[in-house]
Chains A and B, each alone.
Chain A
Amino acid sequence: MIDSVRKAAKTPDEPMPFAELGMKPDEYARVKEILGRRPTGSELAIYSVMWSEHCSYKSSKVHLKQFATKAPKSEALLVGMGENAGVVDIGDGWAATFKIESHNHPSYVEPHQGAATGVGGIVRDIMSMGARPIAVMDALRFGGADAVDTRRVLPGVVEGIGHYGNCLGLPNIGGEVVFDPCYIGNPLVNALCVGLLRKDQIKLATAPGPGNKVVLFGASTGPDGIGGASVLASATFEDESHAKRPAVQVGDPFMEKLLIECCLELYAADVVVGIQDLGAAGVSCATTELAAKGTGGMHVDLTRVPLRDPSLRPEEILMSESQERMMAVVEPRDIPAFMAICEKWDVPATVIGEVTDTGRLVMTWEGEIIVDIPPGTAADDGPVYERPYHEPAGQAALNTDTPDRLERPSDLRETLLKLLGSPNLASREWVTSQYDRYVRSNTVLAQPADAGMVRIAETMAGAEHAPTTRGIALATDGNGRYAKLDPYAGAQLALAEAYRNVAVTGAQPLAVTNCLNFGSPEDPEVMWQFAEATRGLADACRALGVPVTGGNVSFYNQTGSTAIHPTPVVGVLGVIDDVARRVPTGFTAEGLRVVLLGDTREEFGGSEWAHVAHRHLGGLPPQAVLEAERALATVLVEGARRGLLAGSHDLSDGGLAVALAESCLARGVGASVALSGEPFTDLFSESASRALVAVRPEAYDEFASLCGRHEVPCYGLGMTGGDTLVVEGVFEIPVAQLRETHEAALPALFG
């Protein structure tokens, strides 16, 4: 028998399984207070999932606020935080929307599907802004490269990302792969998508206009990712078959590709009033959020939801996380046109309800009312926690255990080769060759470039007469070791590196997205890391003039009481006026001057050298000097605009030595350089705000004076040429040997 609103009113004392659904007693009491009665099973399903950490940000909200309150003024920001994704003005009438999101836990349970549906989810977020998705990237973290479980997780994750993205026809233009034992049991899969739209065609998740129809379209609904709801179904119906459901959703990229083309045609035909993708919390989330942001009311007949498994109960339908589904609000007169477009693309679409002005979200099942709630109470008024936090007990000891005590190497040639062949610095070819980087024919830069870059050359309704020379660049970065040593500085360094990676390609950094991966917020020490990291990131965004447009928080990345290193992953989007002026990575020709920008200090805390040579983590990370970072970017962007730079590469993990080696590997061009300071520090320190550029000799004076004007230290190190990397008086390594070392590592580990 159905647990209807009528039944709930008559049986006020019936116990409900709120604890099994992860709800605290006081949260359940609040639901009862809001409704003035006990919730029905379906209502409990909605509140439990909407008030979960994942959907409500209840532990992080108070800290995330800083991204808005400290946000720098930005004329480029068209849509800020709080929508499906932020939107940035990139000029000539075009706008870009981008966001990064985690799919960590599912990717551990089932690496292939977990990672695949991570890509699918973020792509739908971008689609729901009215945009055509144009590229993806992923920031990945795995346990030790030689750990047995990494051999299960990594190939599955890479295959999942590859299969889904490749079938969708989205170029994969970059990302990160980092190994550290702290991620064993808690791999991180952060997927980023960027989309393109006309500035005047932004769509929002809203359901205005009483009488407008609510359409569910895309895949049918099945028993995916509804572990929690099964408790309700079996508690209510004593049905064993509902108890065992797969926890991880399964993706169908073919349906998603059809959805993309279908949505773009729906937008072009102007038959969509509001739109929302179905991600976590499925129909619960889409209906409550659309209704809350619209006229305020909605009536939905859940019996009309097309099911893949006809035995699903309403509670399960509400919580199902079946993939490749969207919900649109459509004016009644546009329904025939809407349906015709869906039919053209073989996308099933069903009217399941309509917008009302009652201020209530009402759902029926076989004629009985099973949900009757004010939608804002589920969507917006979830609990907010001021979680206690304090500095971790071992933090001071960690910071005083500096790398100063570590023995310095005597053979720097050996040190470079060892670093270059280490899992974190070796060629990513084994991973990236499984991703299509060419589809859509707009990829200007992709891995191993510092940032991915695509030109703006999509044909789109309303843009027939809007040719542009512009392109966008994107990079993600995040160093968990730095953040472990100092979460405030670590988050700033993550932003600084992504910002620099965008700038070295010649693009002006414009906006930020972030994926904050942490342990349990109920652990005050983890919460301190989170508070520090968000504070650091918000301060750095203000200093660099790039606002946060959106992102995602992933808590509970821990095994037992051991949390991962705090890992804020930061994505930066930049714009280049003329893609033809992009700066390629590394040494692109012989006879170029090799120039180092920025100052080098003795900074080895959290460095790749300390990690590889001594398995040491202690001291403090490099200083984040944001004024220097900003000046460096100005010089790089202006240098590119004036055509002064023939090649570039940012300095980060492994310092100058690794940057030189990678620059030689880019086109197989050697170089000969001389150092002025102590060789080990010059070569392997990881001081921030530095980049390597290759400058044509005749352009050097102009570039040097540009650096002088912006107070960016500029050091001529030598010249490109030959087939060997020569560091005068220190070592000589043939480029062929660098390549062999660089390329052998991952295939040796993963086959």
Chain B
Amino acid sequence: MSAARVGVVTFPGTLDDQDAARAVHLVGAQAVPLWHADHDLKGVDAVFLPGGFSYGDYLRCGAISRFAPIMAELVPAAGAGLPVIGTCNGFQILCEAHLLPGALTRNVSLHYVCRDQRVRIEQTATAWTNAFEQGQEIVLPVKHGEGRYVASGETLAALEAGGHVVVRYAGGNPNGSLNDIAGIRNEAGNVVGLMPHPEHAVEELVGAPGTDGLGFFTSILKNLVDA
């Protein structure tokens, strides 16, 4: 089969797009640049919404990107099962677009925080985490000022009950997220959002110590091959 094609979206102010594309290449898939102003997903097999400060984070993180032309294509495609992952600003955009519940608010410390963070994989039944072991602890970088996950008590209870919490902070919560939530999935498991950055933990030489982030990228390949 030809290489899986993973779209990487660039909004104005997106920062980690080349990083995500490089990680996609590293696992042998093809990264396809997608432009915010196009109504075109270019027939990709999956989509990566990278981190950054799209539209300068003005108004509210992700609030403007949600209305970008590409999102008009992405939202129905995700609804129809296209695997989508959003990291950091990408997670914020997925929440603003209502593909995932809840919201990301200012860190309780009121400071931006960049650190290597231990997290636990709580859910492997997603398109993006099936290569991990249930309960596996890994280290991924976090780097954000608005990463505190909040949702109503009802939503939180539903997330927990349904096994929709995908990644949870372990060994210290960097931002005050409720229930130590670092990442969640939608009902179907094809859409995942998380604050940590798997794409910054894929090479020994650069980024966080170790290559724990690779699992997110091998997961999507496995998912596409199995599908």
Chain A interface (Cβ < 8 Å from any Cβ of B): 159, 162-163, 166-169, 252-255, 257-258, 345-346, 432-444, 455, 459, 579-580
Q: A346-B12, A441-B207 are in contact. List 18 more A-B contacts (CB 8 A).
A: A163-B112, A166-B112, A167-B13, A433-B111, A433-B115, A434-B114, A435-B112, A435-B114, A436-B112, A436-B114, A438-B143, A438-B197, A439-B16, A440-B18, A441-B202, A443-B206, A459-B18, A579-B205
B135 proximity list for chain A (CB < 8 A): none
Q: Which one, A255, A345, A441, A444, contacts B200 given CB within 8 A?
A: A441
Would A441 and B18 count as touching, CB distance under 8 A? yes
**Which B10-49 residues sit within 8 Å CB-CB of chain A?**
12-13, 15-16, 18-19, 22-23
- A439, B16: Cα distance in complex, Å: 6
Chain A residues with CB below 8 A from B183, complex form? none
Q: B55 contacts which chain A residues (CB < 8 A)?
A: 254
* Pair B53/A439 contact, Cβ less than 8 Å: no
- Nearest-neighbour CB distance to chain B for A326, whole angstroms, equals 17
Q: Could you say which residues of chain A place their CB within 8 Å of the CB of B113?
A: 433-434
Bound complex: CA A307 to CA B22 (Å): 41
Asked whether, in the complex, the Cβ of A434 is within 8 Å of the Cβ of B112, the reply is yes
Output the nearest chain B residue to A347 by Cβ-Cβ distance. B12
* A residues near B206, Cβ cutoff 8 Å: 438, 441-444, 455
A163-B112, A444-B205 known; A254-B13 Cβ under 8 A: yes
Residue of A254, A435, A436, A459 touching B56 (CB-CB under 8 A) = A254
Please name all residues of chain A whose beta carbon is closer than 8 Å to the beta carbon of B56 when the two chains form the complex. 167, 252-255
Contacts of A345 in B (CB 8 A): 12
A647 to chain B, nearest CB (A): 15
Instruction: Report B-chain residues with C-beta under 8 Å of the C-beta of A253.
Output: 53, 56
For A455, give its contact among B141, B143, B205 (CB under 8 Å): B205
Q: A438: which of B58, B141, B205 is its contact (CB, 8 Å)?
A: B141
Please report the C-alpha to C-alpha distance between residue A304 and residue B138 in the assembled complex, in whole angstroms: 56
Q: Does B199 contact A (CB under 8 A)?
A: yes
Tally B residues with Cβ within 8 Å of A: 31
How many Å lie between the Cα of A162 and that of B13 in the bound state?
A: 16
Does B203 make an interface contact (CB < 8 A)?
Answer: yes
Interface positions, chain B 191-225, Cβ under 8 Å from A, are 197, 199-200, 202-203, 205-208
Q: Return the chain A residue nearest B22 by Cβ.
A: A441
Closest B residue to A435 by CB, please name it: B114
* CB of A40, distance to nearest CB on chain B (Å): 38
A167 — nearest CB in chain B belongs to which residue? Answer: B53
Question: Is B189 among interface residues, defined by CB-CB distance under 8 A?
Answer: no
State A436–B202 Cα separation when bound (angstroms): 17
| Pairs A–B under 8 Å by Cβ, sample size 26 | A166-B53, A167-B56, A169-B16, A254-B12, A254-B53, A254-B55, A254-B56, A254-B57, A257-B53, A258-B12, A258-B13, A346-B12, A433-B111, A434-B112, A436-B114, A436-B143, A438-B197, A438-B206, A439-B143, A441-B18, A441-B23, A441-B199, A441-B202, A444-B205, A455-B205, A579-B205
The answer to whether B7 has its CB under 8 Å from any CB of chain A is no
- CA separation between A142 and B206, bound complex, in Å? 31
Chain A residue contacts of B13, Cβ below 8 A = 167, 254, 257-258
Q: Which residue of B lies closest to A255 (CB)?
A: B56
A442 to chain B: closest residue by CB: B206
Q: How far is the CA of A166 from the CA of B15 in the complex (A)?
A: 9
Q: Contacts A163-B112, A455-B206 given; indicate if A440 touches B19 (C-beta within 8 A).
A: yes
Q: Please, which residues of chain B bring their CB within 8 A of the CB of A166?
A: 53, 112, 143, 145
Could you tell me which residues of chain B, from 150 to 200, have a CB within 8 Å of some CB in chain A?
A: 197, 199-200
Which residue from A255, A438, A442, A444 sits with its C-beta under 8 Å from B114? Answer: A438
**Cβ of A159: which chain B residues have Cβ within 8 Å of it?**
111-112
For the complex, what is the distance from the CA of A346 to the CA of B68, rounded to whole Å?
A: 14
Minimum CB distance partner of B141 in chain A: A438
Chain B residues with Cβ below 8 Å from A168 are 15
Q: Which residues of B contact A459 (CB under 8 A)?
A: 18
Report Cα–Cα, A159/B111, bound state, in Å: 8
Alpha-carbon gap, A455 to B53, bound state (A): 24
CB under 8 Å from chain A, chain B span 75-132: 111-115
Cβ–Cβ < 8 Å partners of A434 in chain B: 111-114
B62 at the interface (CB under 8 A from A): no
Whole-angstrom distance from the CB of A576 to the nearest CB of chain B?
12
Tell me if B52 counts as interface (CB < 8 A to partner A).
yes
Q: Which of A254, A258, A432, A443 contacts B207 (CB 8 A)?
A: A443
Shortest distance between the CB of B133 and any CB in chain A (Å): 25
- Least CB distance from B130 to A in Å reads 24
> Known: A163-B112, A438-B197, A444-B205. Is A254-B18 also a contact (CB below 8 A)?
no
User: Which residues of chain B are near A443, meaning CB under 8 Å?
Assistant: 206-207
Residues of A within 8 A of B143 (CB): 166, 436, 438-439
Minimum CB–CB distance from A261 to chain B (whole Å) comes to 8
CB distance from B27 to the nearest CB of A (A): 14
**A163 neighbours in B (Cβ, 8 Å):** 112
CB-CB < 8 A to B141: which residues of A? 438
Q: Whole-angstrom distance from the CB of A159 to the nearest CB of chain B?
A: 8
Name the residue on B nearest A163 (C-beta). B112
Which of A168, A169, A345, A455 gathers the greatest number of chain B CB atoms within 10 Å?
A169
Contact of A162 among B16, B22, B57, B112 (CB under 8 A): B112
Report the separation of the CA atoms of residues A169 and B56 in the bound assembly, to the nearest whole angstrom: 11
Which residues in A have their C-beta under 8 angstroms from that of B145? 166
Alpha-carbon distance A257/B55, docked complex (angstroms): 10
Q: Report the nearest A residue to B116, measured CB to CB.
A: A438
- Bound state CA distance, A465 and B193, in angstroms? 36
Contact (A167, B22) CB under 8 Å given A438-B200, A441-B207: no
CB neighbours of B112 from chain A (8 A) = 159, 162-163, 166, 434-436
Taken together as a complex, chains A and B put the C-alpha atoms of A163 and B23 apart, in Å, by 26
| Inter-chain contacts of B199 with A (CB < 8 A) | 441
**Who on chain A is nearest to B56 by CB?**
A254
Q: For the complex, give the distance between the alpha carbons of A101 and B13 in Å.
A: 25
A346 contact set on B, CB distance < 8 A: 12
**In the complex, A437 Cα to B18 Cα: how many Å?**
15
Q: Chain B nearest CB: distance from A373 CB in Å?
A: 38
Nearest neighbor of B19 in chain A, beta-carbon distance: A441
Contact residues in B for A439 (Cβ distance below 8 Å): 15-16, 19, 143
Which of A442, A443, A455, A580 gathers most chain B CB within 10 Å? A442
**A-chain residues with CB within 8 Å of residue B15 when the two chains form the complex:** 168-169, 257, 439
Which one of B53, B114, B200 has the highest number of Cβ atoms from chain A below 10 Å of its Cβ?
A: B114
With beta carbons under 8 angstroms apart, the residue of A162, A169, A438, A580 that contacts B52 is A169
Q: Residue of A at shortest CB range from B200?
A: A438
Report chain B residues within 8 Å CB of A258.
Answer: 12-13
**Which residue in chain B gives the minimum CB-CB distance to A667?**
B209
Give Cα A169–Cα B52 distance, bound, in whole angstroms.
7
B57 touching A167 by the CB < 8 A rule?
A: yes
